Amino acid sequence: MTFKYVNIILPIVTLVILIVGVGSLLSFSTVNSQMMEDCSNALDDDGDGLIDLNDPDCTCEILVPESLIPNPSFEESTCCPVQRSMLNCAVGWVQASEPTTDLIHPCGWTGWDVHFPPTPFPDGEAIVGFANGRIGGGFAEYNWKEYAGACLTGPLKANTEYRFEFYIGFTSEAFSPTLDVTFFGTTDCDNLPFGIGNPDLGCPTNGPNWQKLGSKTVGGGGGSAWVKTEITITPIVDINAIAIGPPCERSSAGRTTYYFFDNLVLADLRSFEFQISEVNHPCADDFTLSVPEEDNIDYQWYKDGIALVGETAPLLSQNYGEGEYQVRTMSDGSCLLTQVYDFRIPVLENVLDVSLCNDEVFELGSTIISESGNYIDTLKNSNNCDSIVNLTVTVLSELMDTVVAKIFEGETFGGVEQNSFDAAGTYNVNLMNSIGCDSMVHLQLDYYNVFIPNVFSPNGDGRNDQFIILGGADLTEIKTLDIFDRWGQQVYSGTYDQILDDGGWDGRLNGSYVEQGIYSYITTFEMDDGITRKFVGSVLVQR
């Protein structure tokens, strides 16, 4: 922006005051209203009630990362997806690979039932889902890889640093394990899509004219979650088109693993890094703020849009308190502003539950507590921040804890200190609890109820046609089920996913029913106590 100075007007104003006497105030007001705002002196120079950046005379471009990827959150669309594989509805995006990614939007198709995306979405209503390996036709396709691609709005220049920030979504540890998210590039948009006609090509670099730009290992923490991450790259040639998705290595999961993308921002590194950052902890006495230092740049700090006069260095000289901070930079006549940094001194709140034996006390600041009740105090933590402590104290007499557990017949439960129990029933055990008070444990021990049939009739009449292990909610996973005939030949082998898909063994080998007779089985499954158990038995196939 251009700054206009008004010193030349002052002699004229003085002259008017000397000549017109009483009317001088009116004349000064008229002239002052025509003055331009000086955007760095913390004064209302033009008399409009607005100071510095709050005045429209002081417009300045805010430096924000502008993504070179078109339509980075998939919100611009030409149609509403009604089924999977409709990335073509999203403006600027291309199905980069033969295995197709999925556009998900509440206006139509909202995703797979078994791979439901975490909500809310990071940005807008649209996201993209992609797979890394899958089960197709009953078989594991380890090299099935789905990629989304786009022609960039401007090239990535060779030997220039860029940052790619994006969100990746996870459904669960089983169906969205940790992934090496990988970013690929090519010099020519004509190279999109790649691997035409070959769904088993895998990653882009298995074909010509593509290169790996970078990757990042990301996990969802075992649950349904969105994770923001970034990849920093420096291309060695100009890049005009990109693809993003799973790594080149074959999937090892043996099942369909599925993930989501949203808000993909690709821009030069400076637009990300030239932001206000903290120096020391916000509650520390020497807390301040800074921006990266660059040559041939003039700096000016602002708080709540008003200039902090004299603060013209990359490092703010002192803590001016809570407020909205920005830095204006001037270089070669151009003006840029950082994004707003909203500084608020954190106030922490801790909720504590404390149990005391009869002869114990608890110290809350300078207060000694020996009675049950609720207590509130404000203390200073190690970082000098106010910490509001909401404390609930319970003074304990003799306690009774209830423990509910299950075992299989023949097993022993030893979860109550040195005591062990091998039969279902209720037991009262006297012991000292974890905080040192006398306590009684009331143990309710029961047997797991898992049913493994000893006979079934696979004849297609809809009754008792499958051999499957049955249990309640405490049976968490059937890991393996292997069945053998009387000569030891394996007639069935099922993993967790296969057992889920086909419902167990249907009495067939290679598509034909086996002969009537006794067959042995070996199975492993996990109960809700997290223990994997192995069982061996036999079953009668009756026709």
Q: Which fold has domain 450-541?
A: Immunoglobulin-like (2.60.40)
Class at the top of the CATH hierarchy for domain 87-271: mainly beta
Domain 274-343 carries which CATH code?
A: 2.60.40.10
Residue 270: which pLDDT band, with cuts at 50, 70 and 90? confident
Is 60 exceeded by the pLDDT of residue 494? yes
* Predicted local confidence at residue 435, as pLDDT: 59
Each residue's pLDDT tens digit, 302-353? 999 999 999 999 999 999 999 999 999 998 888 999 989 999 887 777 788 8
- Amino acid letter, residue 123: D
What's the rounded mean pLDDT across residues 55-69?
A: 90
Q: Rounded mean pLDDT of the chain?
A: 86
Give 205's pLDDT tier (boundaries 50, 70, 90). Answer: very high
Mean pLDDT of 203-232: 94
Q: Torsions phi, psi of 428, nearest 5? A: -110, 125
Q: Which pLDDT does position 6 carry in this prediction?
A: 34
Enter the tokens of residue 193: 């899509």
Distances (CA, A) of 348 to 75, 196, 246, 367, 387: 37, 56, 40, 20, 5
Q: Residue 252 — very low, low, confident or very high, per pLDDT cuts 50/70/90?
A: confident
What is the CA 395 to chain-centroid distance, rounded? 41
pLDDT of the residue at 17 = 31
Q: At what angle do helices 24-32 and 10-20 cross, to 10 degrees?
A: 160
Q: How confident is the model at residue 399 (pLDDT cuts 50, 70, 90)?
A: low
Return d(Cα 44, Cα 42) in angstroms, integer.
7
Over residues 392-400, the mean pLDDT reads 70
Q: Does the pLDDT at position 15 exceed 50?
A: no
Question: Which residues of the chain are in CATH 2.60.120.200 domains?
Answer: 87-271
Q: What is the mean pLDDT of residues 244-254?
A: 91
Q: What pTM was computed for the model?
A: 0.52
pLDDT at 259: 97
Q: What pLDDT does residue 204 have? A: 96
Q: Distances from the Cα of 48 to the Cαs of 33, 51, 385, 432, in angstroms?
A: 8, 8, 39, 75
Among 255-269, 335-349, 476-490, which is the least confidently predicted range? 335-349
